[in-house]
């Protein structure tokens, strides 16, 4: 090593190397500064330009447990407020091992010593994280009704509070995955992977993570047979791609269809990477699903999309996998237990009134 340095000194390469290093440091600084400004300059009504979702599975679970364990108590802890507080306090990274910190703040809140929102307001980035996390997780937890079976095997409706978003893979169908967000993709052009791949068997039923409206459906040369579903509050766009050849979608699914969280929307395959429709050019059967946040429709139309790393969310949603059953001798599957959610009914009434006026 010393001989290499001596040689570089003799050849006068050191100044050039220093300039290169300094340029790199300046680039990193300005990139970092741009991200910080996105947070710092967030004011009332101002849009968010980017979100790095760095919340671990463990942190999601701990915050969720704090929420559901205090439901209907005198002081209810909102899991999004709790996550936003922790993110603002820990530089946006909620890693494993935060259970004790969560326990301390929740105990203080339960004892009436403080409020999470109150303490959060004292932190510089709380408002940013609360807005960002509300956009990501806003409709995942709440009240809903779902069918269960009584002792006689008859389906009955049961009111619940808890996780009402589902894993995109149906219960009983196994898969493999790892955090592949941002990895390189080369088909068509070099680009980062802005989603999450879940490898499984062809024909595996794909589930709607959240209730919403089918905004896009059909062939795309990159995603093959794909479907895009927008949440009712319009903040989230779920993208499901590489669906099965010849029979990609649940029967009747089309643009404008209203789906309830847990509905079967399609079937896993390996279509895509072709301008020609219905081609299997993906080597490994898998579901590509992505979550896009939409704060500003105009920026979205300009191609300034905000996709988040949803690996930890996929792990968290494993807690709630929808049970399905096959329909006779067909290739079709359907959910075994129906679910009722207020947001679905409100949207349908809204559309009905709109159609009546027109």
Q: Are 190 and 72 in a shared domain?
A: no
Q: Give the pLDDT of residue 46.
A: 77
Q: Are 254 and 305 in a shared domain?
A: yes
Q: Give the pLDDT of residue 199.
A: 98
Task: Using DSSP, state whether 332 is helix, strand or coil.
Answer: coil
Q: Give the pLDDT of residue 43.
A: 57
| Domain assignment present for 299 | yes
Q: Give the pLDDT of residue 186.
A: 75
| Domain assignment present for 358 | no
Range of the domain at 212: 176-353
| Domain assignment present for 337 | yes
| Domain assignment present for 181 | yes
Q: Are 232 and 124 in a shared domain?
A: no
Q: Write phi, then psi, for 349 (nearest 5 degrees).
A: -65, -40
Q: Are 213 and 339 in a shared domain?
A: yes
Q: Give the pLDDT of residue 27.
A: 38
E strands, 57-175, in order: 93-94, 141-149, 155-163
| Domain assignment present for 148 | no
CA distance 229 to 330: 25
Q: Are 133 and 211 in a shared domain?
A: no
CA distance 308 to 53: 6
Q: What is the pLDDT along the chain (358 residues), one digit of tens a residue?
A: 333 334 344 444 444 444 443 444 443 433 333 343 345 445 566 789 999 999 999 999 999 999 999 999 999 999 999 999 999 999 999 999 989 999 999 999 999 999 999 999 999 999 999 999 999 999 999 999 999 999 999 999 999 999 999 999 999 999 999 999 989 877 777 778 999 999 999 999 999 999 999 999 999 999 999 999 999 999 999 999 999 999 999 999 999 999 999 999 999 999 999 999 999 999 999 999 999 999 999 999 999 999 999 999 999 999 999 999 999 999 999 999 999 999 999 999 998 888 887 6
Q: Are 207 and 285 in a shared domain?
A: yes
Q: Give the pLDDT of residue 44.
A: 61
Q: Give the pLDDT of residue 12.
A: 44
Q: Give the pLDDT of residue 22.
A: 41
Q: Are 74 and 187 in a shared domain?
A: no
Q: How many domains does the chain have?
A: 2
The CA-atom distances, in angstroms, between 232 and each of 238, 262, 344 are 12, 15, 8
CATH number at residue 226: 2.70.70.10
Q: Give the pLDDT of residue 187.
A: 79
Q: Are 130 and 184 in a shared domain?
A: no
CA distance 313 to 308: 10
| Domain assignment present for 169 | no
| Domain assignment present for 13 | no
Q: Are 95 and 180 in a shared domain?
A: no
Q: Are 206 and 345 in a shared domain?
A: yes
Q: Are 193 and 60 in a shared domain?
A: no
Q: Last residue of a domain, which of 74, 109, 137?
A: 137
Confidence (pTM): 0.86
Q: What is the token pair recorded at 278? A: 């219905």
| Domain assignment present for 17 | no
Q: Give the pLDDT of residue 45.
A: 65
Q: What is the token pair recorded at 198? A: 């879940």
Q: Are 133 and 212 in a shared domain?
A: no
Q: Last residue of a domain, which of 137, 167, 190?
A: 137
Q: Give the pLDDT of residue 191.
A: 79
Q: Last residue of a domain, which of 137, 167, 191?
A: 137
């Amino acid at each position: 090593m010393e001989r290499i340095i001596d040689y570089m000194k003799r050849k006068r390469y050191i100044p050039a190397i220093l300039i290169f290093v300094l340029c790199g440091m300046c680039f990193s600084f300005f990139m970092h500064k741009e991200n910080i400004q996105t947070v710092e300059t967030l004011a009332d009504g101002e849009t968010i330009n980017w979100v790095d979702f760095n919340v671990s599975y463990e942190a999601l679970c701990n915050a969720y447990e704090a929420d559901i364990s205090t439901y209907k108590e005198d002081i209810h802890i909102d899991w999004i407020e709790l996550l936003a507080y922790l993110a603002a306090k820990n530089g946006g990274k909620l890693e494993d091992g935060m259970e004790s910190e969560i326990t301390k703040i929740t105990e203080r809140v339960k004892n009436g010593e403080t409020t999470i929102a109150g303490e959060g307001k004292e932190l510089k980035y709380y408002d940013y994280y609360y807005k960002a996390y509300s956009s990501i997780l806003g409709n995942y937890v709440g009240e809903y009704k779902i069918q269960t079976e009584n002792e006689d095997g008859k389906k009955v409706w049961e009111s619940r509070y808890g996780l009402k978003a589902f894993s995109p893979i149906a219960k009983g169908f196994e898969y493999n995955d790892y955090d592949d967000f941002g990895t390189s993709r080369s088909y068509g052009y070099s680009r980062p992977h802005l989603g999450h791949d879940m490898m499984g068997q062809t024909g595996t039923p794909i589930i709607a993570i959240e209730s919403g409206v089918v905004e896009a459906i059909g062939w795309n040369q990159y995603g093959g047979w794909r479907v895009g579903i927008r949440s009712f509050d319009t903040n989230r766009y779920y993208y499901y791609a590489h669906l099965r050849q010849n029979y990609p979608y649940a029967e009747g699914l089309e643009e404008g269809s209203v789906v309830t969280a847990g509905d079967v929307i399609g079937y896993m395959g390996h279509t895509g990477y072709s301008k020609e429709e219905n081609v299997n050019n993906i080597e490994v059967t898998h579901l590509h699903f992505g979550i896009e946040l939409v704060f500003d429709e105009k920026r979205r139309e300009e191609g300034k999309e905000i996709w988040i790393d949803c690996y930890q969310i996929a792990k968290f949603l494993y807690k709630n996998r929808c049970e399905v059953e096959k329909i006779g001798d067909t290739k079709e599957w359907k959910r075994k237990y129906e679910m009722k959610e207020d947001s679905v009914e409100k949207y349908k009434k809204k559309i009905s009134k709109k159609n009546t006026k027109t």
